[in-house]
């Protein structure tokens, strides 16, 4: 059985909800990623921040990224998957919620992220095609 822990990339880092978006952008650059899970004061997942969120939700509105926090842009119910979850559960979670990045949690701690690239490396072309068809279905919502 292939699990979330088998296909995730390790080294994911939280961005605290109180941290500003300019710092979040710097961290994304340092880590070479386009998204960061947002943690509350108790290191619980409270959202995911993407580079697109920073541009569309802050910069394009004329706001100063040094004055807007990651928590200000956290919205909706954060989705995550346990490291021991089967790949079918990973796909279902991502498809059902039309998300492209999924934090992986083990023993209540962030241990990694699953992205489109991780799926492409570990799934068949048919599985990736089916996933993309569901995730990119026209709903008017942005897929994280």
Element of type H or E holding 10: strand 9-10
Distance, CA of 80 to CA of 34 (rounded, Å) = 17
pLDDT 10s digits, 3-19: 999 999 888 899 999 99
Q: Tens of pLDDT along 51-84?
A: 999 999 999 999 999 999 999 998 778 899 999 9
Q: Kindly report, residue by residue over 79-112, the tens digit of the pLDDT.
A: 999 999 999 999 999 988 888 899 999 998 899 9
Its CATH class, for the domain covering 4-135, is alpha beta
Instruction: Report domain extents, the chain.
Output: 4-135
Closest CA to 108 of 63, 43, 29, 24: 43
């Amino acid at each position: 059985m292939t699990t979330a822990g088998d296909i995730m990339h390790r080294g994911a880092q939280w961005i605290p909800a109180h941290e500003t978006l300019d710092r979040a952008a710097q961290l994304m650059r340092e880590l070479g990623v386009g998204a960061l899970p947002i943690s509350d004061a108790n290191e619980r997942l409270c959202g995911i921040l993407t580079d697109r969120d920073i541009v569309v939700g802050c910069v394009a509105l004329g706001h100063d990224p040094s004055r807007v926090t990651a928590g200000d842009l956290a919205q909706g119910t954060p989705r995550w998957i346990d490291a021991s979850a089967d790949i079918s559960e990973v796909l279902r979670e991502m498809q059902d919620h039309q998300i492209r990045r999924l934090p992986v949690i083990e023993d209540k701690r962030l241990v990694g992220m699953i992205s489109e690239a991780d799926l492409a490396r570990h799934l068949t072309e048919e599985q990736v095609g089916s996933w993309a068809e569901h995730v990119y279905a026209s709903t008017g919502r942005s897929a994280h």
